[in-house]
Amino acid sequence: MKVAILYDRLRWEEKALLDALKSRGVEVEMVDAKVRVAVPGKMTTIGDIVLNRCLSHFRGLYWSAFLEAEGVRVVNSFWTSLIGGDKLFTSLELAKNGIPTPRFVVAFTVEGAMNALNEIGLPAVVKPVVGSWGRLLALLRDYEHARAIFEHREHLEAILHNIFYLQEYVEKPSRDIRSLVIGDEVIASIYRYAPEGDWRTNIALGGKAEVCTLREEEEEVVLKAAKAVKGEVVGVDSLESDKGLLVNEINTTVEFKGAFSATGVDIPGKIAEYLIKEAKR
């Protein structure tokens, strides 16, 4: 059996996955997506299954499309990466499946975005539709500040910044919940606490992790969210509210060092075992 790990940056997670697979007697090929050339008709030997761990959304997305066209099994799939890697697509899919999520709107010009604030209300959050680590998120508390943010985004080079995706701001106890889902099981959940002076809870920005035990109804919401995007190995980020758990985002190349450290759950081992099981099918 051979498993390929597709990556563009070797993080703690990729190294842990490599060790977990090797310790189980699996042949592993580390495929650097930045330098490997995708050649039609020559990719079937890459592995019995490929785990997409690309940090770059578009690089991983196009690699997944290419590999699947060659008949290679990819985790997560192209469709899952396409939907889960775009915040608007994710919100639409969650809403379509009746999964509780923060209210959201979208506009495509500065004036449209200002009008969108009348629909969503203040405070609100503007997010890039593609991105991670809390980058380029902004909390909008007044209209003057919002217009300045929108006008700045309008002049950023990437065309995706002209998609103004806005979410209601959910008042929370300075934390959110990240749940790791593998297959049809929630294997670990953590609270992620925002660092002092910030409202974002990303561990990459200095947030802290603590063990979270989901209630049965909360776990059900998380699993439904993962299923909505056909996620096999995903992180589901949720917010606590008076209405219950609201699914905020889904991460298809989820980082799990913080969850591993906080919970002690052998997350890389469980991912390795899932890949082995799927490769045998």
Whether the Cβ atoms of residue 124 and residue 169 lie closer than 8 Å to each other:
yes
pLDDT score, position 204: 58
Q: What is the average pLDDT across 37-43?
A: 94
Looking at the structure, tell me whether residues 164 and 205 fall in a common domain.
Answer: no
pLDDT score, position 197: 62
The count of other CB atoms within 10 Å of the CB of residue 40 is 8
Q: What is the pTM of this model?
A: 0.92
Task: Give the CATH number for residue 63.
Answer: 3.40.50.20
User: pLDDT, tens digit, for every residue of 179-223?
Assistant: 999 999 999 999 998 776 665 666 655 678 899 999 999 999 999
User: pLDDT, tens digit, for every residue of 136-149?
Assistant: 789 999 999 999 99
Distance (Å, rounded) from C-alpha 104 to C-alpha 278? 36
Looking at the structure, tell me whether residues 157 and 182 fall in a common domain.
Answer: no
Say if 97 falls within a structural domain.
no
Looking at the structure, tell me whether residues 211 and 133 fall in a common domain.
Answer: no
Q: What is the average pLDDT across 160-180?
A: 89
What are residue 233's DSSP bridge partners?
182
Total structural domains within the chain: 3
Write out the residue range of the structural domain in which residue 63 sits.
2-75
**Which of 61-65, 81-85, 202-206 bottoms out in mean pLDDT, i.e. has the lowest?**
202-206
